[in-house]
C-alpha cells in the first residue's frame, strides 16, 4: 500500500526520538519531515541530536540526513508535505495549544503527545483499546476549527495506562466501580531523563511529580466519558485518587491499585482474570500493526510484573498485571505495569494514528 507521509514536530526530544525510531520500517507510515526549535532547524537530524541521542538503538538511517525544519516558522510548508504530524514539543501549554491549532487549521491532522489539549471538550483523548468511539467527536471539532482535514487528537498521560486498561474491561463487562486508589511508581524517562542526565535519581526516590496526581485522577474520567452535543462529557464515577512517585527505573511505570465495586455486584478473582485474558479492543479487531496480540498479560508469580522483565512485552505495547488479591479496605488490589515511552507515549500515539487511518479519519492527500 502507498504509505502515509508523516512529520514529527519536536523530533529532537526524548519522545520525538522515540517517534523517529518507531517510524523506521513502519508498514503504513513514512517519516518525511522532522521539525524542532530554531536552534536545530537547518541541521541534519544526526547533527541536531548529536550528543543527546537517548535511545538504545542507533539513529535510523532514513532519519539521519533529513534536514530539520522550524516547527513554528514552517507550519504551512510542513502541512503541505505530510498527511499528518505527531507532536511532542517542549513548550508552555498555551504555546502548544496555539501551535497545534495552527497545524490543524493548515489542514494537517495533529496527533499530540502533549497535555495542552487533553481537556479541550471536542479533542478526543484516545486509548485505542478503551475508547476508540471518541473519534466520533472529530467532525464537531472540524466544524469549530473550520477545517476539512485538520483536527487534533491526543494521547492520555502515560501513568494512567498502568491501571485504566485493567479497570475498563471490568466496567465494560457490567461491573460498576465505586472508587479507585492508584499509587504510581514512575520511571525517569517520563521526565525525559536518563541516569546520565539525572544522576541524583540513582539510589533515590522522589515523592512528587508536578501535576501528575491531578492528571492521574481526572484523565481516566475523560477516557470513560461519553459524547454529548459536540463535546466529550467526562464520567462522574468511579472516584479516583492517586499518589505519584518518581523511582530509579529507566523505563516502565508501575501502579499499585485498589478497587472498590458498587454495592450488589462484584466479580470473583477468577472472573476478573478471565475478563482480562479475553479482552480485545478495536485495535486487536482491526489487527493494527502496533497493536499487541494480547492486550493484558496476567502473571501468577508473586513477584511479577517487574519493570525490567516485563515492560517490553509485545514491543512494549502490552499491559502487564499481577498480584490480584482481596483487600481488607477495598474489594481487590493488584499491580499494573506499562512501558511509559512506548505504550504510554510515542507507541500509543502511533497506534492511535493507525486507528484513525483505518477508520477513515485521516486520508492521504
Strand (E) or helix (H) holding 96: helix 93-105
Catalytic residue at 339? no
Distance from C-alpha of 298 to C-alpha of 324, rounded to nearest angstrom: 9
Half-sphere exposure of 105 (CA within 13 A, CB side): 9
Distance from C-alpha of 345 to C-alpha of 161, rounded to nearest angstrom: 10
Catalytic residue at 244? no
Distance from C-alpha of 124 to C-alpha of 136, rounded to nearest angstrom: 9
Distance from C-alpha of 102 to C-alpha of 183, rounded to nearest angstrom: 37
Q: Position of cell 501535576?
A: 211
C-alpha of 152 from chain center: 14
| Catalytic residue selected from 253, 297, 339, 357 | 253
Q: Which grid cell is 283?
A: 485495535
Distance from C-alpha of 114 to C-alpha of 112, rounded to nearest angstrom: 5
Strand (E) or helix (H) holding 18: helix 14-23
| Catalytic residue selected from 87, 117, 134, 158 | 158
Active-site residue set: 158, 253
Amino acid at each position: 500500500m502507498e504509505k502515509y507521509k508523516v512529520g514529527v514536530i519536536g523530533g529532537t526530544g526524548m519522545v520525538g526520538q522515540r517517534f523517529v525510531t518507531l517510524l523506521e520500517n513502519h508498514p503504513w507510515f513514512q517519516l518525511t519531515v522532522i521539525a524542532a526549535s530554531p536552534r536545530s532547524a537547518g541541521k541534519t537530524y544526526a547533527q541536531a541530536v548529536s550528543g543527546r541521542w537517548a535511545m538504545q538503538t542507533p539513529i535510523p538511517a532514513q532519519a539521519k540526513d533529513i534536514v530539520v525544519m522550524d516547527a513554528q516558522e514552517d507550519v504551512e510548508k510542513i502541512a503541505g508535505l505530510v498527511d499528518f504530524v505527531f507532536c511532542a514539543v517542549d513548550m508552555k501549554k498555551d504555546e502548544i495549544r496555539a501551535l497545534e491549532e495552527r497545524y490543524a487549521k493548515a489542514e494537517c491532522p495533529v496527533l499530540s503527545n502533549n497535555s495542552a489539549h487533553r481537556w479541550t471538550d471536542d479533542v478526543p483523548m484516545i486509548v485505542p483499546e478503551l475508547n476508540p468511539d471518541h473519534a466520533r467527536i472529530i467532525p464537531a471539532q472540524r466544524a469549530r476549527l473550520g477545517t476539512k482535514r485538520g483536527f487534533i487528537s491526543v494521547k492520555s498521560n502515560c501513568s494512567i495506562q498502568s491501571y485504566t486498561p485493567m479497570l475498563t474491561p471490568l466496567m465494560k463487562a457490567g461491573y460498576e466501580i465505586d472508587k479507585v486508589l492508584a499509587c504510581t511508581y514512575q520511571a525517569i524517562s517520563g521526565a525525559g531523563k536518563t541516569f546520565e542526565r539525572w544522576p541524583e535519581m540513582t539510589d533515590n526516590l522522589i515523592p512528587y511529580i508536578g501535576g501528575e496526581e491531578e492528571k492521574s485522577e481526572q484523565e481516566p474520567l475523560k477516557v470513560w466519558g461519553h459524547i454529548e452535543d459536540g463535546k466529550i462529557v467526562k464520567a462522574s464515577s468511579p472516584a479516583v485518587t492517586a499518589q505519584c512517585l518518581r523511582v530509579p527505573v529507566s523505563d516502565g511505570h508501575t501502579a499499585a491499585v485498589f478497587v472498590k465495586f458498587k454495592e450488589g455486584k462484584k466479580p470473583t478473582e477468577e472472573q476478573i482474570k478471565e475478563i482480562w485474558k479475553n479482552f480485545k479492543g478495536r485495535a486487536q479487531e482491526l489487527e493494527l500493526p502496533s497493536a499487541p496480540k494480547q492486550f493484558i498479560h496476567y502473571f501468577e508469580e508473586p513477584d511479577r510484573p517487574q519493570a525490567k522483565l516485563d515492560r517490553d512485552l509485545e514491543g512494549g505495547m502490552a499491559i502487564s498485571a499481577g498480584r490480584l488479591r482481596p483487600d481488607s479496605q477495598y474489594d481487590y488490589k493488584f499491580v499494573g505495569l506499562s512501558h511509559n515511552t512506548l505504550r504510554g507515549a510515542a507507541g500509543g500515539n502511533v497506534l492511535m494514528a493507525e486507528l484513525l487511518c483505518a477508520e477513515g479519519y485521516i486520508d492521504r492527500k
